[in-house]
């Protein structure tokens, strides 16, 4: 049993070309049968959190369709459960609210109604399997006011780190500095956009920040309070996949072809839940040849498929070669095609003999429902 509630803040600034034209980044299909938000939501549920708010901003109808009443995450509850919080439910703000503090403020009544002592704030665009109860334990053992979760990115270049928030952490796990998208990062500790703190402290801080007109959670609430509050950092040791660009989306997908990553992420004692579709098992034809692929239910595979992620209900015809691709739900690739480094969005049809070749650094994206 736990003493936390969860709040997932929708990312609204991220644009992944056509992939996010009609959906928010949290609703991106990933790893064959999931949506990106499933990972963070499952982390919360697996940490016995029974009350989760998701603050949405724009293009949320795809996310709402996916989440429904929260049944698949066991969050269709009388007490607590899943709350999709539209941005306009804040204190009479007109139009869409801006900035993280506004997003959190939209969730004020959700936060105020909860009886739990702690809240986990998180973005929904991360692939990781993390036990948040461990974070809570760390938070309590360190008597922290705020705990930030990070991982050490050993291979990251300075340029990679420039996309992130980087933490300076001392030997006592205390945060000494926070750099936002640094040019010359002082450490390789990448903040995972997960914050654990007291619900009361959050509520108070947001009220104050709101009154002052502050808008930015990191700058105005964390950096300014580095010395006033005890801000600690919890180091996460597992796999982390951030999705904030087409390239990181592609790599977070193909990372699932690695056995160790798959074993960790789909840890059976902390499973990743998603919407059930009642698809039949995948079928392989007599001429199928499949190598190093993740393949979901409902597929019919008759061709040659390599190093790819194939979502539910995909149909790949005879004499077709698919390699290094991400093929989303219900797409059809007819006979005699060749696809390499391509991302097909949902319900795309590639007609007989079609040929699409992208590049690893620039995968070709075909928008939902297109016929090629």
Partner 1 sequence: MARIECVAMILAGGQGSRLGVLTNEVAKPAVPFGGKYRIIDFPLTNCSHSGISTVGVLTQYQPLDLNTYIGNGGPWDLDRNNGGVYVLPPYVSMSENKWYKGTANAIYHNIQFIEKFNPKYVLVLSGDHIYKMDYRKMIDFHKEKEATATIAVMSVPWEEASRFGIMDADEDGKIIEFHEKPENPISNQASMGIYIFDWENLKIVLEEDEKDENSSKDFGKDIIPKMLSNKMPMYAYRFQGYWKDVGTVHSLWEANMDIIADPPLFNLNDSNWRIYSRNPIKPPHYISNDAVITNSCVTEGCNIFGDVDHCVISDGVTIEKGAKVRDSVIFPNVHISSDAVLEKVVVGEGTVIGKGAEIGLESKDDNPYASHLCTNDIVLINGNIKIPDGAKIYKNSMVRTFDIGGGDRT
Residues of this chain that bind its own copies (CB under 8 A): 61, 68-69, 71, 76, 78, 86, 89, 278
Shortest Å distance, C-beta 328 to partner 1 = 12
Member of 172, 227, 228, 268 binding partner 1 (CB under 8 A) = 268
- Binding partner of 31, given its own copies, partner 1, none, CB within 5-8 angstroms per partner class: partner 1
Q: Which of 84, 229, 290, 372 binds partner 1 (CB under 8 A)?
A: 290
Q: How far apart are CA 350 and CA 100, in angstroms?
A: 41
Residue with smaller CB distance to partner 1, 34 or 60: 34
296 forms part of the interface with partner 1 (CB under 8 A): yes
* 50 is a contact residue toward partner 1 (CB under 8 A): yes
**Rounded-to-integer distance, Cα 242 and Cα 135, Å:** 19
- 260 part of the interface to partner 1, by CB under 8 A: no
Cβ density class 219-251: b for 16+ within 10 Å, e for less: ebbbbeebeebbbbbbebeebbbbbbebebbbe
Q: What is the 3-state secondary structure (H, E, C) of 247-271?
A: HHHHHHHHHHHCHHHHHHHCCCCCC
Any contact of residue 282 with partner 1 (CB under 8 A)?
yes
Query: Which residues, 6+ apart, have CB-to-CB distance to 152 below 8 Å?
Result: 188, 189, 190, 235
Of 86 and 238, CB closest to its own copies = 86
- Which residue, among 361, 355, 286, has the nearest Cα to 322 in the 3D structure? 355
Instruction: Compare residues 1 and 211 and give the one whose CB is closer to partner 1.
Output: 1
295 binds partner 1 (CB under 8 A): yes
276 binds partner 1 (CB under 8 A): yes
Q: Is 67 or 295 the residue whose CB approaches its own copies more closely? A: 67
Identify any residues that bridge with 343 across adjacent strands, giving them in sequence order.
326, 365
Check residue 236 and report its DSSP letter.
P
Least distance in Å: CB of 266 to its own copies?
Answer: 25
266 near partner 1, judged by CB under 8 A: yes
**How far apart (Å, rounded) are the C-alpha atoms in residues 176 and 187?**
11
Q: What is the 3-state secondary structure (H, E, C) of 298-324?
A: CCEECCEEECCEECCCCEECCCCEEEC
Which of its own copies, partner 1, none does residue 69 bind to, with CB < 5 to 8 Å depending on kind?
Answer: its own copies
Site string for partner 1, 66-105 (x = CB under 8 A): -----xx-x-xxxx--------------------------
Nearer to partner 1, 59 or 270 (CB): 270
Q: Which of 46, 106, 125, 129 binds partner 1 (CB under 8 A)?
A: 46
Q: Which is nearer to its own copies, 260 or 278 (CB)?
A: 278
Q: Which of 99, 9, 110, 25 is nearest to 63 (CA)?
A: 25
Q: Provide, rounded to whole angstroms, the least separation between the CB of residue 279 and partner 1.
A: 8
What is the maximum alpha-carbon separation in the chain?
68
126 binds, options its own copies, partner 1, none, Cβ within 5 to 8 A by partner type: none
Min CB(106)–its own copies separation in Å: 13
Instruction: Give the nearer residue to partner 1 in terms of CB position, either 245 or 279.
Output: 279
Q: Least CB distance from residue 33 to its own copies, whole Å?
A: 17
Residues 6+ apart with CB under 8 A from 272: 34, 38, 39, 42, 129, 265, 266
Measure the CA–CA gap between 215 and 274, rounded to whole angstroms. Answer: 33
Minimum distance from residue 69 beta carbon to its own copies (Å): 4
Give me the torsion for CA of 242, 98, 217, 8, rounded to 10°: -50
328 forms beta bridges with: none
Binding site for partner 1 (CB under 8 A): 1, 31-33, 46, 48, 50, 71-72, 74, 76-79, 256-257, 259, 262, 265-266, 268-273, 276, 278-298, 300, 309-310
């Amino acid at each position: 049993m736990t003493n936390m509630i969860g709040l997932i803040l929708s990312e609204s600034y991220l644009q992944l070309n056509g992939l996010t034209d009609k959906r928010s980044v949290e609703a991106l299909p990933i790893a064959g049968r999931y949506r990106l938000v499933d990972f963070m939501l499952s982390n919360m549920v697996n940490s016995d959190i029974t009350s989760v708010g998701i603050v949405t901003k724009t293009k949320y109808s795809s996310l709402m369709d996916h989440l429904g009443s929260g049944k698949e995450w066991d969050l269709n509850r009388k007490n607590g459960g899943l709350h999709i919080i539209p941005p306009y439910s804040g204190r009479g703000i007109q139009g869409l609210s801006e900035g993280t503090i506004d997003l959190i403020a939209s969730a004020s009544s959700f936060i105020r109604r909860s009886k739990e002592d702690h809240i986990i704030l998180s973005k929904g665009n991360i692939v990781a399997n993390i036990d948040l109860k461990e974070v809570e334990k760390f938070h309590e053992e360190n008597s922290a006011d705020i705990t930030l979760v990070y991982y050490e990115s050993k291979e990251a270049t300075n340029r990679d780190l420039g996309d992130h928030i980087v933490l300076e952490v001392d030997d006592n796990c205390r945060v000494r500095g926070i750099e936002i998208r640094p040019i010359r990062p002082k450490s390789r500790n990448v903040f995972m956009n997960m914050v654990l703190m007291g619900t009361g402290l959050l509520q108070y801080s947001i009220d104050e920040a709101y009154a002052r007109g502050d808008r930015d959670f990191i700058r105005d609430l964390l950096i300014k309070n580095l010395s006033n509050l005890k801000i600690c950092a919890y180091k996460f040791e597992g796999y982390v996949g951030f999705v904030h660009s087409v390239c990181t989306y592609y790599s977070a997908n193909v990372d699932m072809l690695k056995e160790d990553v798959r074993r960790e992420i789909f840890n059976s004692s902390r499973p990743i839940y998603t919407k059930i579709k009642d698809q039949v098992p995948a079928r392989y034809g007599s001429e199928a040849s499949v190598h190093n692929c993740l393949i979901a239910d409902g597929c019919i595979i008759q061709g040659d498929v390599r190093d790819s992620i194939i979502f539910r209900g995909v149909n790949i015809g005879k004499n077709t070669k698919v390699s290094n691709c991400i093929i989303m739900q219900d797409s059809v690739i007819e006979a005699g095609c060749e696809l390499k480094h391509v991302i097909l969005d949902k319900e795309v049809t590639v007609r007989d003999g079609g040929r699409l070749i992208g590049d690893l650094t620039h995968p070709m994206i075909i928008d939902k429902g297109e016929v090629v």
